[in-house]
């Protein structure tokens, strides 16, 4: 049973982590964002305020690679950074107002795509899925 669960979870995570999926999604959303920056941008939106070290750890990327990508996002006015009061080596990273607008577009595009994908699911099936995923997420949080 656990092997089947792991296989399903890997399939779902892989779907969301594929750069070819990101390219298509960015195109479908009509946003001007490189697919290589997409995952970082979305992760910043979920974790904000955050910092380069936490992002690098979450995404499995090097600190310098993430730092360069954050700089690019900042130059495009999609994120704001501010030196930490406690440690000037650490930059607090948040979405800018422009970044928030792009996030709204991303969220709406995701809602439309999920709605289309699940259009033949009943409301009960959707609610059961949400309840099961919430239960799993809460269980996994306890492992941290």
CATH code, domain with 79 = 1.10.10.10
- At 114-134, the pLDDT tens digits run 999 999 999 999 999 999 999
Residue 56: which of 46, 66, 47, 48 has the closest Cα? Answer: 66
Domain of residue 62: give its range: 2-107
24: CB partners within 8 A, 6+ apart: none
First to last CA, the chain: 23
Query: Does 119 fall in a domain?
Result: no
Query: Does 44 fall in a domain?
Result: yes
24 pLDDT more than 90: no
Cβ atoms 86, 92 nearer than 8 A: no
Query: Does 79 fall in a domain?
Result: yes
- H/E segment holding residue 95: strand 91-95
85 pLDDT more than 80: no
Query: Does 133 fall in a domain?
Result: no
Query: Does 69 fall in a domain?
Result: yes
The predicted model scores a pTM of 0.83
* Number of folded domains that form the chain: 1
Query: Does 37 fall in a domain?
Result: yes
Residue 34 φ/ψ, nearest 5 degrees? -65, 140
- Average pLDDT over every residue of 81-109: 90
Mean pLDDT of the chain: 91
Query: Does 125 fall in a domain?
Result: no
What's the pLDDT at 134?
A: 96
Query: Does 103 fall in a domain?
Result: yes
Cβ atoms 45, 103 nearer than 8 A: yes
- At 33-71, the pLDDT tens digits run 887 799 999 999 999 999 999 999 999 999 999 999 999
């Amino acid at each position: 049973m656990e092997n089947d669960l792991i296989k399903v979870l890997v399939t779902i995570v892989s779907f969301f982590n594929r750069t070819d999926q990101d390219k298509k999604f960015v195109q479908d959303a009509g946003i001007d964002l490189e697919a290589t920056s997409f995952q970082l941008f979305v992760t910043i939106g979920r974790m904000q305020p955050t910092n380069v070290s936490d992002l690098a750890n979450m995404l499995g990327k090097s600190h310098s690679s993430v730092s360069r990508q954050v700089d690019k996002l900042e130059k495009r006015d999609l994120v704001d950074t501010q030196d930490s009061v406690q440690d000037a080596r650490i930059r607090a990273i948040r979405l800018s107002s422009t970044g928030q607008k792009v996030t709204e577009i991303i969220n709406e595009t995701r809602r439309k795509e999920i709605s289309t994908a699940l259009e033949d699911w009943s409301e009960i099936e959707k609610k059961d899925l949400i309840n099961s995923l919430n239960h799993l997420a809460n269980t996994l949080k306890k492992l941290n």
